[in-house]
C-alpha cells in the first residue's frame, strides 16, 4: 500500500505544471533596505520603550539578550551570489509574528520579504529558539525544591496550600489539513490543535503538550501526554505529602484544573476547591 501511494504521488508530480518565475526578486522587495520595517522603522522604535514593548512584547534589552543566544545559529553565510537576511532581522520578524498573530502575507509586506521566505524564516527561527533555550525555560524535570517553591508562591499569592500548578487547554485555531476528516474539529465548531499547559503561581509555563487533535478532551490529552504519564507513574519528583497545620494528616501536593480533568491523588478540580471553601 505504501508503494502504491508513493507511485500515485509521483504521477501527480509529473502532471503538475510549473510556471517560470517572472522575477528572482519582486521589484517591491528590492527596496527592503530602504523601506522595510527593520531598516526604516526599527531604529526609531528601539528608542521608545513602551512602543517597542507593544510591538515585540519584550523590551529592547530582552531582545538583545535573546539575540546573543540564538544569533550564531540564525546567521547565514555571506556569498557572492546574494546577501542573506541578517540574524537580527530574522529574529525581529519572527517575534512580531508570534506577538501579533499576524498573517505571513502581512509580515511579508511589512518587512518587504517574500511570503515563502517569511514562512521559512519563522519556522527556522522558532526551531532555533526552542533548541537554544528550552532546557532553561522549560526543563523536562523539576526538583522537589522547585515544586516546594511553586507551592509556597501559590499559598502566598492565591491562598491555596499544597498547589504546585494550574492546568488547562487552549484551542489554537488552524485551517483544516488535507484529508484530516474530523480529527481537528472541536466543540467550538472550528478546527484546532490543543496547547495543554501547567503554569505556576506567576502564570509561567512549567510543562506543555502541543499539537493534540482539537476533537479530544483536555483530560484525555493529559492522560496520554508524556507529562500526564509521568505524573501517573510518580516520576515527577513531587514532594512527599505534608500536613498543612500541626497535628493534621499529611496531604499531597496537587495541580488544579477544571471539571474536564479526572480527580486523582495529584490533581484536583476547582469545583472541589470552591465547595471546600
Predicted TM-score (pTM) of this structure: 0.74
pLDDT in tens, the chain (277 residues): 433 343 344 445 444 555 556 656 677 777 888 888 998 899 889 888 889 999 999 999 999 999 999 999 998 877 766 788 899 999 999 999 999 888 899 999 999 998 889 999 999 999 999 999 988 888 888 999 999 999 999 999 999 999 999 999 999 988 888 888 889 999 889 999 999 999 999 999 999 999 999 999 999 999 999 999 999 999 999 999 988 887 788 999 999 999 889 889 999 886 544 444 4
Parallel, antiparallel, or unpaired for β 254-257 and 267-269?
A: parallel
User: In whole angstroms, what is the distance from residue 59 CA to residue 62 CA?
Assistant: 5
**Read out DSSP for 127-138?**
HHHHHHHHHHHS
Residues in contact with 56: Cβ distance below 8 Å, sequence separation at least 6, in sequence order: 63, 92, 95, 96, 99
Amino acid at each position: 500500500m505504501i508503494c502504491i501511494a508513493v507511485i500515485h504521488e509521483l504521477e501527480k508530480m509529473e502532471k503538475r505544471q510549473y510556471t517560470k518565475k517572472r522575477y528572482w526578486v519582486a521589484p517591491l522587495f528590492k527596496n527592503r533596505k530602504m523601506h522595510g520595517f527593520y531598516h526604516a522603522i526599527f531604529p526609531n522604535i528601539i528608542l521608545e520603550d513602551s512602543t517597542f514593548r507593544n510591538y515585540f512584547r519584550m523590551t529592547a534589552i530582552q531582545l538583545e539578550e535573546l539575540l546573543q543566544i540564538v544569533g550564531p545559529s540564525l546567521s547565514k553565510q555571506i556569498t557572492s551570489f546574494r546577501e542573506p537576511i541578517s540574524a537580527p532581522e530574522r529574529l525581529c520578524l519572527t517575534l512580531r509574528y508570534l506577538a501579533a498573530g499576524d498573517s505571513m502575507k502581512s509580515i511579508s509586506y511589512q518587512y518587504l520579504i517574500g511570503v515563502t521566505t517569511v514562512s521559512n524564516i519563522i519556522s527556522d527561527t522558532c526551531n532555533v529558539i526552542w533548541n537554544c533555550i528550552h532546557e532553561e525555560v522549560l526543563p523536562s524535570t523539576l526538583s522537589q525544591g522547585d515544586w516546594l517553591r511553586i507551592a509556597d508562591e501559590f499559598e502566598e499569592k492565591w491562598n491555596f496550600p499544597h498547589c504546585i500548578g494550574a492546568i488547562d487547554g487552549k484551542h489554537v485555531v488552524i485551517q483544516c489539513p488535507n484529508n484530516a476528516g474530523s480529527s481537528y474539529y472541536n466543540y467550538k465548531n472550528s478546527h484546532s490543535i490543543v496547547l495543554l499547559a501547567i503554569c505556576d503561581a506567576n502564570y509561567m509555563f512549567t510543562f506543555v503538550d502541543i499539537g493534540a487533535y482539537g476533537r479530544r478532551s483536555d483530560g484525555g490529552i493529559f492522560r496520554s501526554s508524556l507529562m500526564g504519564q509521568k505524573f501517573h507513574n510518580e516520576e515527577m519528583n513531587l514532594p512527599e505529602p505534608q500536613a498543612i497545620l500541626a497535628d493534621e494528616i499529611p496531604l499531597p501536593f496537587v495541580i488544579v484544573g477544571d471539571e474536564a480533568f479526572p480527580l486523582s491523588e495529584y490533581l484536583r478540580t476547582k469545583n472541589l476547591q470552591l465547595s471546600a471553601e
